[in-house]
Amino acid sequence: MIAWSIAFVPHLVAAIVIFVVGLFVAGWVSRGVSGLLGRAPHVDPTVRPVVAAVLRYGIIVFVIILSLSQLGVQTASLFAILGAAGLAIGLALQGTLTNIAAGVMLLWLRPFKIGDYIEVGAVAGTVREIGLFVCELETFDGIYVLAPNSSIWNLPLRNHGRNGRRMVSLATMVPKDADLAAAVARLNDVVAADGRVLAEPAPVVFVDGFTGAGTNVVTRFWTTTANFAEVQRTIIAEGVAAFGSAAQPAEMPVQMTRTIPPDADPSRLIVRNDKLAVARRP
């Protein structure tokens, strides 16, 4: 036992040192690569955490193999054992491997990037990080969401920030005894006066139908995604003010509404400085 200890203890100490130093090096390389990619202007922030994680786990596997080789474990036998263990683990963790495959596809096709507001199934929020297994999101009211990649990849996804513009649709009920042409002109003036409304496609105001209460007039225009939430509220307020200053009280609209998006749509909130401030619609 003494002779065996004298021969084995140095290898055991060497294996422990290699393992501890390897873990430190893996963390240092991961943080260094992540910082380097963060300073590179041509590297998408989406792939940064994934590259850092792959390097870290690769170094850890290499360190484990080196540590075991110091203990006398044959590399060929080790790879055979790892292959069999990998097959068993793969069969047991099919869902996890599905998340990895889904994460690779998300990074390859890039349907969204970090900072986009997405809606997929029952999950909606701003993307904070895309990993190998899960995506980290933050809802409009500040709740942390950890969504598996497979649940995002296998469902239809809505990216609220992908396109640069969005359409606003407002419906105004004009009384039947009011001057319809004057009401349409007032709505056109309100939209034209707002500099955040895009000139192309051109804004349109048209009659969409009528009821016993009056005529339904629809106002449609386009604005940038960043201004979408605030513009539609501003136009409604300016429209109410414009009709309130009408010479004839009969020109006042009976009702003015907007197309209501689902609860997950950030347009229900006020957007300022690319951040979502909690402010529900009235």
Comparing 271 with 123, the larger pLDDT belongs to 123
Q: Which residue has the higher pLDDT, 39 or 128?
A: 128
Of 279 and 248, the structure prediction assigns the larger pLDDT to 248
CATH class of 107-159: mainly beta
Token output for 65 = 């193999």
Q: How confident is the model at residue 95 (pLDDT cuts 50, 70, 90)?
A: low
Please tell me the predicted confidence (pLDDT) of residue 109: 84
* pLDDT over 80 at 168, yes or no: yes
DSSP 49-109: HHHHHHHHHHHHHHHHHHHHHHTT--HHHHHHHHHHHHHHHHHHTHHHHHHHHHHHHHHHH
What pLDDT does residue 57 have? Answer: 83
User: Quick one: average pLDDT of 208-213?
Assistant: 78
Q: Please give the pLDDT value at position 282.
A: 39
pLDDT higher than threshold 70 for residue 219: yes
**Domain ranges (residues) in the chain:** 2-92, 107-159, 165-277
Least confident of 32-41, 89-98, 178-187: 89-98
DSSP H helical segments within 93-205, as ranges?
94-109, 149-153, 180-193
Range from 1-5, 138-142, 149-153 carrying the lowest mean pLDDT: 1-5
* CATH number, domain 2-92: 1.10.287.1260
pLDDT, greater one: 245 or 113: 113
pLDDT confidence bin for 273, thresholds 50/70/90: very low
Quick check: 127 and 116 in contact, CB under 8 A? yes
The pTM of the whole model exceeds 0.75: no
Outline where 132-253 has alpha helix (H): 149-153, 180-193, 228-244
More confident call, 49 vs 59: 59
Q: Taking 50 as the threshold, does the pLDDT of residue 210 lie above it? A: yes
Percent of the chain with pLDDT over 90: 3
What fold, for 165-277? Alpha-Beta Plaits (3.30.70)
pLDDT in tens, 189-200: 888 888 898 988
Closest CA to 67 of 57, 56, 52, 78: 78
What are the backbone dihedrals phi and psi of residue 217, each rounded to the nearest 5 degrees, phi first? -110, 130
